[in-house]
A and B are shown apart, each in its own frame.
Chain A
């Protein structure tokens, strides 16, 4: 991940997109920032990576990245997942910018499905890859209808859905892509991050940009904006908690991935944020690295 190690791609503009396209995207971003949580339609381009694999986030990153930026790309919290590797490589080839896996060093962080554990700063931009930008989509499949509902702030149906969950299951059953209300106005899909990450969006010092390439929408949360996860007074929003701490670094406050380690189904829990975990281990936090749930071999 050293800068300039890979030769930049010849025959293509800096960050792949032509300057006119970048300008079009930047305009959409500016509009999105001006109306927090509102989905701005934009002329999404056909990228050399497939739809559904981050084309929206890639276009947003391509429009904002400069030669001095330091880029970090994560997928499921980790820098070394295949698609994160592929996207990071794409930008290394097309921009030659420095890439990093250190959250603190990055100026632009493109993410799929997680917000880093380490709090972000005013000098950073978080770019989310979004598959389905419309939070009301599962309640109303028609775009014409959902746009109208947003315009009229007609969100009753969403509250009914959450209420029905409580009536049926005793709790709200949405565990990721948990809807939020931004700046007391628009209901917004936070992208499929676990609801564990939702509180981090609120009053975040960093600018948060969301790109949905296939659905051709961009939206944003400006720094220090109120982001509230939808709930009820008697059923307040709550995040996931684990009975275990990370088997590698011992953290008890991070989102944990469950890893099956043998055929019997023994499991261990480790941080999903790989940089957070390794940084803690470098700082001397250690755990035994053993599975926390051990399923004994059945007696023959």
Chain B
């Protein structure tokens, strides 16, 4: 006897209870605190803030805890919360040239004003599992820091090239005061660079990395050099209408990557270096480097280059970069599809029987 598939409501409630229990794990072990996550899983927090488009370490840590360490799920949680927040003001553009730099490297110059500052990086570590970490140890001895003079300026590498007119100028879009907001208005094509960069900043790190990598392997080569990568704190400022001047409302840590790319020049312009740009919250070098590669690739058409590789196709890149959209749609295949499937069953059966009849008829002849 057929039993109707009932009881969805009860099943969902039970699944939620089970999830909560599983999330906590064995209660004999102490529960993770948000401070532990934001201090010791800092890069996870940075990624969730960047792709979640919300700078809030505590909420990002909460999202990671709730998502049991599934970062794409945590990004989704943070985004869903973010939608409910009011937009109070638009900040001034952050000035990364005035950053309190913690790390700053350039691959194009051996030394440069302000110096190369390695800062905290995995780059030259030997990837050997450190079993000392397994035994909960003491805090490591503090590292020696060289405090640069507080007023020491650290000019951008691109500024040196600018002085010689060797690199294109980076000018704001003409007369455009309104910054596009992808979370308020749908993506439209052709998408301007500000929109593209916004999309890439929110985009999935893995997707951008694969796309950036593809350009390095020949699918839309861009001849990149890591002109400069810098990471540190910058001031966030707003201009309240009643004051008319900028006041600082806080400080955020960002990573910025400027790629310097070869450009052969055209009939109307001299050979010159061009730029790819990447920016993300916290310390997220891999993400910003990939972003900069893809940003430059997406400019192929504008610069009159061949544009036939996936990374050079704005519709392909921008429509598929968002992991919250992608994750939802990929996983929606879990939802019931029996009505569609029933329709397909009927079609396949009919097609088969028709073809079978034709074959039998042919065989008989």
The chain A residues found within 8 Å of chain B, CB to CB, are: 12, 18, 41-48, 50-53, 55, 75-78, 80-86, 89, 112-114, 131, 141-144, 169-171, 173, 175-177, 192-196, 214, 216-217, 240, 247-248, 255-259, 261, 268, 270, 272, 274, 289, 291
Contacts and interface: CB of A to CB of B under 8 A. Distances in A.
CB-CB nearest 3 A-B residue pairs: A52-B332, A51-B328, A50-B328
Given A52-B328, A84-B8, A85-B9, A170 B343 contact: no
B168 interface: no
Contacts of A240: 343, 346
A112 B8 CA distance: 16
A142 B329 CA distance: 18
A41 B188 contact: yes
A47 B339 contact: no
Contacts of B342: 194, 255-258, 272
B183 A46 contact: yes
A47 B82 CA distance: 10
Nearest to B344: A175
B84 A12 contact: yes
Give the secondary structure class of B's interface. helix
B340 A194 contact: yes
27 contacts: A42-B186, A43-B183, A43-B184, A45-B83, A46-B79, A46-B183, A53-B332, A76-B337, A80-B8, A82-B8, A82-B11, A82-B12, A83-B335, A141-B315, A143-B189, A143-B319, A144-B189, A170-B354, A173-B347, A176-B344, A192-B337, A193-B339, A216-B187, A248-B2, A257-B338, A272-B338, A291-B2
B321 to A, nearest CB: 13
A43 B83 contact: no
Contact of A195 (B79, B83, B343): B343
A257 B328 contact: no
A76 B339 contact: yes
A255 B332 CA distance: 23
A46 B82 contact: yes
Interface residues of B, number: 50
A112 to B, nearest CB: 8
Nearest to A274: B4
Contacts of A76: 336-339
A9 B281 CA distance: 32
Contact of B1 (A47, A195, A289): A289
A214 B325 contact: yes
A47 B7 contact: no
Interface in B326-361: 327-332, 335-340, 342-347, 350-351, 354
Given A113-B339, A143-B319, A171-B350, A258 B345 contact: yes
A175 B364 CA distance: 32
B201 to A, nearest CB: 15
A48 B83 CA distance: 9
B5 A46 contact: no
